Structures are given as C-alpha cells and as structure tokens.
Structure 1
Amino acid sequence: MVKRTVVLADSDGVYLKRLSDYFMEKAPQLELSIFTDLSMLKQYLQRGRVDILAVDETFADQELAAQSTVAVKIVLSTATDTVDGFETVKKYQKTESLLNDLLLKYAESTGSAEVIRGNSHTKITAFYSPAGGTGKSTLALGMATTCACAGLRTLYLNLEEIDSMDMVLAETPGTLSDLFLALKTKGMNVGIKLASSVRQEPSAGFYYVNGVESISEYGEMEGTDMVRLLETVKSQAEYDVMVLDLSSGFSERTVKILEQTDVIFVPVTAEETAAAKLNRLLNEAAFHENYNALFGKMELVANRMSGKTGETVLRESGLAGRLPCVGVIGNLPVLERKKALLQGKEQLMAVFQPLLARLMNG
C-alpha cells in the first residue's frame, strides 16, 4: 500500500493531538506530520513533496498557497469563506467526517480513488418482491438500521424507479442522478462521485444517497451500468454491507442487480396476490435454467404475520417447499412508520437478527 503524506498545522496543540491520534488509528494509509509553528511548517515543506496539507485559516497565507511541493492544500475553516489557493473543509465536526472530507478533497483533486479505498469485504443484500405492497421498503430500511446498529458500515440504496424516500431521509450532497451521469461519462470516477454524494442518517447510522431527479433516467440505464455501480462500491471496500431496495418488476436491469447480491430477501404477506406472483416468478425456472442460481439466493420473509399464520400461508401457497424462510415478522409498532423505524435500533436488532445472521454467515 502506497502511503500518502499528510501535514496538519494549527496553533492549537490539543486539537492537533486529537486529530493525529484518530488519523493514526483509523487511516494506516497516511503518513502524518503535525505543526503548531508556521515558520517550522514552511521549512518542512521545502524538503519534499506532501500529498495533503491541512492548515488552520490563520496559517493559510499566500506563501503556502503558492507552495508547489503540495498536491492538495486545504484550509480548516470555522466559517464558510473561501481562501484563495485552498480547498475548504469545516474544522469543527466529527473527527471521522473531517478525515473523510480531507481524503475526498484529495481524491477529487487528483482523480484517484485509491486514498478513499477501505478494506471491507462488502456483502450485498436486496429486498425484492414481484408484488407491490409487501413491505419491502420498510424491511430494507429496518435491515440497514440493524446492520449499522451492529457496528457494520452500511450503505442503503433505493433503486426503485419511483421511490418516496425523500419523505423519510434528508437531502444528500449528491443523488443517484449524479452517479448515473458518472457511469455514462467517460473519464468520470464513479467511486469518487459516490463518496462525495453520500450522507449518514444521524439516528439510524447507515449511509445513503437520494434517488434520481427524474424517473426517466432509469430508461437510460442498462443492466451493465448497474453492475458497474455495484462493482464500484465493492471495489472501494468502504462498506461492510450494502442494502438494496428494488422495484417489483423483473427487467433485465433488475436481474443484473440481483445477480450481484449475496442474499435476496423476498417479503411475502398473507395477501393471495403476493404468493401468487412469487410462484409465477419461480415457475420461470422451468423455462430459463439460468434463473436457478438467482432463485437459489432467495429467502422468504413472512411479513406482517404471526408465526402460525406465516407457516399456514407459506404451506398453503406452496412457497414453503420452494424457498427457505429466514424469519417471520409480525405487525410491530416500530415498523408502522418509516421515520419512527429509524429511531428504533434496539427493537429492530431482535427482529432482524435472523436476517443479519443469514447475510453475514452465509
């Protein structure tokens, strides 16, 4: 691993010590130096090349701005004002966020995503049903919240063509529209665009990106584009888990997405149409053998049912003999409203533990 040289400079030694301790623990890809004296900093910069220079705004003078040995110069600012010759990062924020912002500025300036690459082996799960109204979006959010609560760095992506997550989740710096544009534009780095687009949900703890600005954009996306997007997330190794919420269709694009998953959770309710549509889909295996591997990754989730009701519905519909059932989820108050769901981490852990165990233990 090629290490990147980072120099932090601030007159506040206590602040620098806190940053440096965190950086050394969490970012082994960085070689760190710190300075509280501006003149000593300038002498140091004459000795060789520095990848990232991050200084307090009182240190950000024109001499540093003109320093040719520094790849990316960043001012740690307490205001929104910009300083000529410097990128700007908010000084007082969570240390994790500050580190991410510094690395992202470097990635954007150099066009290389290497510095923001993690070391996780990303597991991908999708919540999918050929029938609408089965509660898959609620379950997907619950799963993302549970994964984050379990200490897993989690990315939630709603890939429904018509989604309503803007009613639940706050605005993100970028959207799926930005990622789709990056996928279609030669020379644009999708990994960097993703890193600059995500936001962490403050209560639930998972990361996410808002949906497309226009649903017509999905018409321009092919299955291979979606595969590239998912492969980019995996190659960045930044997330332990990626939770996907998919539309109910079975288009070529959806099939390509499902093929990239480790586990597909399929919610089914007591409604006859939900089981009938799922049986109809599974019947396709008789005509298309290539779907066998796909259906082999599917696990039923009996949703909005008691244990006995779930067993009865799955048995009478014939689904019990076709797909394994990973769990039964009742009509729980915590799942009635999506916004309330984001606050119910402790309650969700008990509900989603079987799904989490299935995903992580395979």
Structure 2
Amino acid sequence: MRRHQLAIVVKEKEYTRRIADYIRGSSFGDRWQVSAFTHPDACKQFVKQGYGIDLIAAETDLLRELQPELSHIPAIALVARLGEADGQFELLQFQALPLLLQGITDQFEGLCRKPVKGLAPNTNGKGALVLTVHSASGGVGKTTLALHLAGVASARGLRMLYLNLEKWNTSGLWLQPGGDAGWEGEGLSELLYAIKSGSSSHTSWLAQHRKFHPQLKCDYLYGFRNQEDRATLLPADAAGMVDSIVKSGCYDGVIVDMDDGMDELHYELLMRADRNLWIVSEERSALAKQSQMLHYGRQKYGETFGRIAACSEVVLSGINSELGNPLPAVEAALAPIALPLVREWRRGELHPVWSSSLYRAAVDRLCAYLLGESEESRIHAVG
C-alpha cells in the first residue's frame, strides 16, 4: 500500500508533534506520512519545491490562507465546533487521536474513491447508491435482510451504511452490545435537527457520530433519541437525511430499512431509491397485503408509481425448502433468489445477526443477482 502525504497545518507545534508520534507508532503509519507546518506560507513553499501533498488538514483560518493556491489538493478543516468552516469538510481538532486519524482516513477515501467495477452510477449521478427494504406487512424479515445486505456488501470491500427509519426501531437488539434495543448518544434526532436548521456540516457530523459494527463490517447510526421526532418525520426530511449521507462521499451504498405500509413518507423514500426490495413471507396473508399495497400505490400515485415498480423486485422470505415454493406469482417482478427458512430464528430467542450461513449465502446470491453478476464471480452488493 502506498503511503499518502498528509500535511498538518496548525499553529501549535506540540499538536503536530503528538499527531506525528501517534501515526509512527500505529497502523496509520502504513498509510500516512506526515509533514507538519505552523504557517501556511511554509506549506505553500513545500509544494512549490516539488513535494507532493495528497491531503491537507488545517485549522480553518490557516486553510483559508492556503487557498486558492492549493485548492487543487483535497482539504479538511480542523475545527473547535462543527459548522465553523462554511461547508468545508470538517473534523473536530481536539478529540482522541485514533478517532481523528480514522476521520481523516475516511474522508480522504471518500474524496478519492473511484467507482467499483460492476457498481452502476445511481440515478442522481453522484454519491452512494440507495437500496430500500420495504413491505406491506410487518414481521416478514425486513431488518434481517437489510442487515445481511449491509454485511455481505461490506465483506466485499464496499463502504456501507445501514439506516433504520422504522417508527419502532429495534435494530439495536442486533447492533448494540448486549442486545439493547434503546439508543444512547447522538443519532437520527440530531441529524434531523441539523437538516431542519439548514446546517451544512452533515458530513462532519456523520464522521463524528457513525458507529461501526465489528461483525457486519458496516457503519450505522443510533436511532431517534426522541420518539416524537420519528412520529412526526416529514417525507422531505426523511429524504434529506438519506441525501445527506449519500452526498457525504463516505459510502458506496446506503441500505434503508423501512416501515411496512404505504404513505407519503414511504412514497418519498421509494422514489429516492435506486433499487427497492419488497419482502413477502410464505404466509398467504402477507402476499395478499402486498398485492393490495401495489394496487393502492398505482391507484394513488398513478404513472409515477411505475417508476418505483420499475426498480423494485419482490423477495420471498422464509421459504420452506421441504415444501418448495408454494406462493403464486405476485403483481411485480419476482427476484429469482428466495430467502430460506431458518428454524432456530423462530423460537423467540434473540439470535446473532450473522449466525446462519445458509441465510447469509442466499443474501450473497441475491446481491449477485441485483448487480447482474454471475454467481461464480466475486460480486459487490449495493444498498
């Protein structure tokens, strides 16, 4: 791996020394070589002498002095409070060095990321792709599928974020240590407040508050701290939350775990999606509800609902291989990969999300299908 040149431009010399010492003694030393400057003119002269810089991390006022001469070099503003840099990529200057260096690394990868082979550009032409997981019925396995999709995509080297926008979000049972469904710390409520206030520091907020799941190898966000925030969530605000993540440059894909049903919020998110998976269980009532929901969507939203259907497919979940596939055709495209019945998951006990190799293999094949890859090749799953 080639080491990248990081220029740290801050007034305090001791600060630069601490960063350089930490990098040399950590795994970040395999990625970064540091040049430290306490004055912007010294950094400019360094470049004029022919030395290369891959990334600049500088205090906000010093960064302004470096530009526009060095505006061609990716830059991150080191700030005391998020939102100080007027839309510039930001990181809190005074925080634990492992978090600071991880933030610098993540933002650099987002700024420099090249498209992955087999990863088609999304409909908006920029940012991460969005995959929604939706259904007309509850309890059909939306969250289980969404988490596995994030996991298998991350296992293939893609930067993925799992986003749960359900009204009753219990994903913490699988994501939190100890299986706690509740959330402590800043999460979706704070992101929503930032969007409503018109703050431009979404990327910096995301870099500071996203969480990493060690088994799934993907990021996620804490849920709404205040349940009223989710209960009164407006369709435009939900789409704005997704867009803030999509345009951050931090991810290849975002998997949105949605509530069951069909209202204006569902419609807004489904219209925003690049791909959508409708999940139907082997219960005939679930199939009937799905059919009614699709009929309602066409009736209410007319031709625009056809755009949703065109990028959507139905996935059969919990199919008993001993009985075959007893379900009749549905009023939408049917994905050829069905999700197996995992009997141990039906005992009412909390199961580890990554515990069934059979289910994980089926999701792996589903991802291959979604990207049009052959099952023999190593594919990338996108959400």
Question: What is the TM-score of this pair, normalised by structure 2?
Answer: 0.68
Unmatched segments (≥5 aa) in structure 2 = 10-15, 45-54, 67-76, 81-91, 116-126, 177-182, 374-383
Distance in 2 (CA, whole Å) between partners of 1:17 and 1:213 is: 35
**Given the alignment, which residue of 139, 142, 145 partners 1:133?**
139
**Given the alignment, which residue of 312, 333, 336 partners 1:298?**
312
Tell me how far 1:233 sits from its aligned partner.
1.8
Distance in 1 (CA, whole Å) between partners of 2:365 and 2:269 is: 23
Distance in 2 (CA, whole Å) between partners of 1:172 and 1:150 is: 30
Does residue 169 in structure 1 map to residue 178 in structure 2? no
**Given the alignment, which residue of 348, 365, 377 partners 1:354?**
365
- Would the alpha carbon gap of residues 185 and 260 (structure 1) be closer, same or farther in structure 2, given more than 3 Å must change? same
- Would the alpha carbon gap of residues 339 and 152 (structure 1) be closer, same or farther in structure 2, given more than 3 Å must change? farther
- Would the alpha carbon gap of residues 131 and 280 (structure 1) be closer, same or farther in structure 2, given more than 3 Å must change? same
Distance in 2 (CA, whole Å) between partners of 1:89 and 1:348 is: 40
Unmatched segments (≥5 aa) in structure 1 = 25-31, 35-40, 55-67, 75-85, 105-112
Tell me how far 1:13 sits from its aligned partner.
8.9
2:314–2:334 contact (8 Å) kept in structure 1: yes
- Would the alpha carbon gap of residues 147 and 172 (structure 1) be closer, same or farther in structure 2, given more than 3 Å must change? farther
1:101 is matched with which residue? 103
Distance in 2 (CA, whole Å) between partners of 1:226 and 1:311 is: 36
Count how many residue pairs are aligned between Structure 1 and Structure 2: 306
Aligned residues: CA RMSD: 3.7
Runs of 4+ in structure 1 deviating by more than 6 angstroms, as ranges, are 68-71, 113-116
- Would the alpha carbon gap of residues 116 and 269 (structure 1) be closer, same or farther in structure 2, given more than 3 Å must change? closer
Residue type at the aligned position of 1:158: N
Tell me how far 1:348 sits from its aligned partner.
5.0
2:24 is matched with which residue? 15
2:162 is matched with which residue? 156
- Would the alpha carbon gap of residues 166 and 348 (structure 1) be closer, same or farther in structure 2, given more than 3 Å must change? same
- Would the alpha carbon gap of residues 276 and 348 (structure 1) be closer, same or farther in structure 2, given more than 3 Å must change? closer
Distance in 1 (CA, whole Å) between partners of 2:229 and 2:22 is: 50
2:334 is matched with which residue? 324
2:57 is matched with which residue? 52
For residues 294-339 of structure 1, the C-alpha deviation after alignment (integer angstroms, 9 at most, x for no partner) is 12222111111135756321x2xx41x6322241111226856665
1:310–1:328 contact (8 Å) kept in structure 2: no
2:203–2:245 contact (8 Å) kept in structure 1: yes
1:305–1:328 contact (8 Å) kept in structure 2: yes
Distance in 1 (CA, whole Å) between partners of 2:104 and 2:185 is: 16
1:193 is matched with which residue? 205
Secondary structure at the counterpart of residue 221 of structure 1: coil
Secondary structure at the counterpart of residue 32 of structure 2: helix
Distance in 2 (CA, whole Å) between partners of 1:13 and 1:191 is: 25
2:379 is matched with which residue? none
Secondary structure at the counterpart of residue 304 of structure 1: strand
Tell me how far 1:184 sits from its aligned partner.
0.7
1:118–1:238 contact (8 Å) kept in structure 2: no
Distance in 2 (CA, whole Å) between partners of 1:244 and 1:73 is: 31
Which of the pair is proportionally richer in helix?
1
2:294 is matched with which residue? 282
Does residue 236 in structure 1 map to residue 248 in structure 2? yes
Distance in 2 (CA, whole Å) between partners of 1:100 and 1:172 is: 22
Secondary structure at the counterpart of residue 132 of structure 2: strand
1:176–1:209 contact (8 Å) kept in structure 2: yes
- Would the alpha carbon gap of residues 172 and 359 (structure 1) be closer, same or farther in structure 2, given more than 3 Å must change? farther
1:125–1:359 contact (8 Å) kept in structure 2: no
1:334–1:341 contact (8 Å) kept in structure 2: no
**Given the alignment, which residue of 190, 193, 197 partners 1:181?**
193
Secondary structure at the counterpart of residue 157 of structure 1: strand
- Would the alpha carbon gap of residues 308 and 333 (structure 1) be closer, same or farther in structure 2, given more than 3 Å must change? closer
Residue correspondence of structure 1 range 60-71 to structure 2 within 5 A:
none
Residue type at the aligned position of 2:342: L
- Would the alpha carbon gap of residues 322 and 359 (structure 1) be closer, same or farther in structure 2, given more than 3 Å must change? closer
- Would the alpha carbon gap of residues 335 and 237 (structure 1) be closer, same or farther in structure 2, given more than 3 Å must change? farther
Distance in 1 (CA, whole Å) between partners of 2:22 and 2:96 is: 18
1:124–1:261 contact (8 Å) kept in structure 2: yes
Secondary structure at the counterpart of residue 236 of structure 1: coil
Residue type at the aligned position of 1:225: D
2:48 is matched with which residue? none
Matched-pair identity in %: 19
2:96 is matched with which residue? 90
**Given the alignment, which residue of 184, 199, 209 partners 2:221?**
209
Distance in 2 (CA, whole Å) between partners of 1:193 and 1:255 is: 27
